[in-house]
Structures are given as C-alpha cells and as structure tokens.
C-alpha cells in the first residue's frame, strides 16, 4: 500500500507539472474555476463551523494558512504566470482571510504581486473570476452600498476597490486620470484610503486594465502631491456646525435620535462626496496633475499585453 501511495503521488505530481501555466478559456478553465470556487466556499463553511464549536483560534489560523496555500496553487493554474517587470518573486493569493466575521473576508480572487521596493501591488485575475466575484458582491451588504454589475462600471467605483483589495480602510476617488491602451478597457484613479471622512489629500494611484482574458489592478504611491484646495476645505466648518445642531436636537428629542442619527450620517457622506467632487474639478488645473497622467500611462504601458 505504501508503494502504491507513493506511485499515486508521483503521478499527481507529473500531472501538475504537465498542466498548462494558464487556462483562461474553454472547458478546462471553467472546470478549474468551478473547483476553486467550490473549495473556497467549502473552506469558509468548515472554518465557520469549527469556530462555532469553539475550536481554538490557533488551530483555525493554522487550517486557514494551509487552505489559502492550496487555493493559491489552484488560482495560479487559472490565472497563469504574469510577466511583471518589477515583481519581487512569485505572487501569492490576494485573499487575506477565510474566517467569517473578519473585515477583509471576500476580497477579489486573484494572484497579488509586490514590487521589489514593496510599494506597488498588482493583482492579476481573469474576466471570468471577476464576473463571478461581482455576482456575489451585488448583494454583499444587506444594508449599504454594493458594487455595480459589469466589469467596466465596477472598476470605476471606490466600493469595488474597498471590497476587492481590503486593507481595513475605504477607498475614496479624488480624480480620474487620463490613461489608455489599445489592448482593452483601462481606468486610472487618484485615490486616498481612510477609515473616516474628513480633510485629506489623495496619495495613491489605482490603475485597472482588462487585457485579453485577464484583468490587472495596480496600486502605487502617487508620484506627486496636490495641495489642499481652499474652496473644497470650506465644506468642513459648515459640516461641523450642522452636526452640532443635529447633536443638540438628538439630546432634546430622544425619540427622534435614530432618525436624526441617520440624517447626520447622510449629511456626512454627502459632504465627503462633495469634497471629493470639488477636488476632482480643481485637480486638473494643478501643475502636478500631469505627473499623475505620466505615471498612470507608464503603469499601463508596463503591463503584459494579455
């Protein structure tokens, strides 16, 4: 029996070595994707059941590490190797957790590469994996914003990057950067990540492009800085004044506290959105804006053609 098991393992290894580097299209790709998605979802359920039984977190973490490694190997066969010029070694699975309740559960299925200086991150996935992810995330939050359906619309929204790339902070889009490619759809965005609303300047670029069967999503530090825009900053004192009025009304009308709280949160969200729209209107007039255009185009031009 021992010799037979060894022989079987050798056959499995040979089959793995003979397997194509990527299976973007056709029945093989569909089968690999179905197996991957089934294995991912089954692991999430298994870990949730184990957690409910009271299994120690150390054991759950160990099981999760093994599962992520296996899922990463499966994704590697689906996505294929990416010839990224500045990647530091092989990529790893983009998923950070499989534990229900963790903030970053449900990140985009793909392989993530980090640049040699550790500053730029590129997630590579396939159109089919992205479409499957979007279907699930159309109702990811029962109450709140979800990503739109359709790859192009989704790749233009902050909510997509918040859910797909994780990191514990929400993306905010401050401006769209002109960038393009003959290879397919491309969008470039000037963004900032934050856990709350308030005055801030964008400090990061996100570039997403669809090339052939694959999708590349790059995040990199912005090559320049834009100063605060006084006209945009003016929204915050007005918001502070209005929120104080809401707080005073809540204190004097306890029965209306919930409704007033909802109105206050909407006012905060609307003000933050207005702040970013104002920034987007003014950003192209800043001399440093052309630096972002050049940086975004350089990122696009440096990606594989498919």
**Tens-place pLDDT, residues 192-201:** 999 888 899 9
In the structure, what pLDDT confidence band is assigned to residue 9 with cuts at 50, 70 and 90? very low
Angle at 141 between CA 75 and CA 72, to 5 degrees: 10
- pTM, two decimals, is 0.86
Query: Is 88 within a domain?
Result: yes
Q: Are 147 and 258 in the same domain?
A: no
d(CA 31, CA 171): 34
Can you give the pLDDT at residue 26? 56
Q: Are 116 and 26 in the same domain?
A: yes
Q: Which range (69-78, 179-188, 221-230) has the least confidence?
A: 179-188
d(CA 117, CA 281): 33
Q: Are 137 and 276 in the same domain?
A: no
Q: Are 278 and 199 in the same domain?
A: no
Q: Are 253 and 274 in the same domain?
A: yes
Q: Are 62 and 97 in the same domain?
A: yes
Sign of the alpha-carbon torsion through 104, 107, 111, 113: negative
Query: Is 217 within a domain?
Result: yes
| Residue range(s) defining the domain that contains residue 202 | 2-226+287-301
Q: Which neighbouring-strand residues pair with 221?
A: 204
Residues 172 and 203: beta-carbon distance below 8 Å: no
Query: Is 306 within a domain?
Result: no
Taking only the tens place, the pLDDT of each residue in 266-292 is 889 999 999 999 999 999 999 999 999
Element at 297 (helix H, strand E): helix 289-301
Distances from the Cα of 275 to the Cαs of 157, 169, 271, in angstroms?
16, 18, 6
Angle at 72 between CA 157 and CA 96, to 5 degrees: 50
- How many independent structural domains does the chain possess? 2
Q: Are 55 and 185 in the same domain?
A: yes
Q: Are 204 and 245 in the same domain?
A: no
Query: Is 79 within a domain?
Result: yes
Q: Are 114 and 209 in the same domain?
A: yes
Can you give the pLDDT at residue 180? 79
């Amino acid at each position: 029996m021992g010799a037979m098991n060894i022989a079987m393992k050798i056959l499995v290894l040979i089959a793995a070595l003979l397997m194509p580097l990527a299976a973007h299209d056709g029945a093989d790709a569909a089968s690999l994707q179905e197996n991957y998605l089934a294995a991912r979802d089954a692991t999430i359920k298994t870990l949730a059941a184990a957690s409910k039984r009271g299994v120690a977190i150390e054991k759950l973490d160990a099981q999760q590490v093994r599962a992520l490694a296996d899922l990463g190997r499966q994704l590697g066969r689906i996505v294929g190797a990416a010839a990224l010029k500045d990647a530091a070694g092989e990529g790893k699975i983009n998923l950070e957790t499989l534990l229900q309740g963790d903030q970053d559960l449900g990140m985009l299925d793909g392989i993530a590469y980090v640049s040699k200086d550790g500053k730029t991150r590129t997630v590579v996935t396939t159109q089919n994996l992205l479409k499957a992810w979007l279907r699930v995330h159309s109702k990811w939050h029962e109450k709140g914003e979800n990503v739109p359906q359709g790859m192009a619309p989704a790749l233009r929204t902050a909510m997509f990057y918040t859910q797909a790339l994780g990191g514990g902070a929400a993306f905010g889009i401050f401006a769209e950067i002109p960038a393009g490619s003959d290879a397919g759809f491309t969008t470039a965005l000037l963004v900032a990540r934050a856990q709350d609303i308030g005055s801030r300047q964008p400090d990061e670029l996100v570039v997403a492009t669809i090339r052939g069967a694959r999708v590349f999503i790059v995040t990199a530090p912005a090559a320049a800085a834009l100063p605060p825009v006084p006209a945009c900053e003016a929204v915050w004192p007005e918001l502070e004044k209005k929120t104080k009025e809401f707080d005073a009304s809540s204190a004097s009308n306890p029965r209306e506290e919930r409704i007033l709280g909802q109105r206050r949160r909407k006012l905060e969200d609307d003000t933050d959105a207005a702040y970013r729209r104002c920034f987007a209107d003014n950003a192209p007039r800043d001399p440093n804006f052309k630096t972002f255009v050049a940086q975004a185009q350089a990122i696009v031009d440096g990606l594989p053609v498919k």
